[in-house]
């Protein structure tokens, strides 16, 4: 069971850097926090469950036989605005320079 994320935390997860930071305590497995954050996911803090900031679909079925875990559309809801490219709330992490 996944507990709902507080509204303030949920809005903060629109920011890719915040999503990446959420993986600080992610259990060791073949999923990579940076790739998951780029794919719109943040770590819920519960078991190995990640959630999309946009469609709120959760995913936790990690295949430990894979060398590199691949993220993809299959992890999101079919109508996820982030995957469809229509979401305007995502904030990308960029390095100023």
The domains of the chain are located at 7-84
Give tens-digit pLDDT for 76-91: 899 999 999 898 888 7
Kindly state the DSSP code that residue 48 receives in the 8-state scheme. T
CATH classification of 7-84, choosing from 1.10.10.10, 3.30.1360.120, 1.10.1170.10, 1.25.60.10?
Answer: 1.10.1170.10
The pTM (predicted TM-score) of the whole model is 0.77
Give tens-digit pLDDT for 37-73: 999 999 999 888 999 999 999 988 776 555 445 667 7
**Using CA of residue 80, residue 83, residue 85, residue 87, what is the dihedral sign?**
positive
């Amino acid at each position: 069971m996944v507990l709902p994320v507080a509204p303030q935390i949920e809005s903060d997860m629109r920011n890719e850097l915040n999503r990446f930071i959420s993986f600080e305590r992610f259990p060791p497995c073949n999923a990579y926090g940076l790739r998951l954050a780029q794919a719109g996911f943040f770590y819920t803090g519960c078991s190995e469950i990640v959630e999309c900031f946009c469609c709120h679909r959760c995913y936790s079925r990690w295949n430990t036989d894979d060398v590199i875990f691949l993220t993809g559309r299959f992890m999101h809801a079919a109508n996820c605005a982030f995957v469809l490219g229509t979401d305007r709330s995502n904030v990308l992490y960029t390095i100023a320079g």
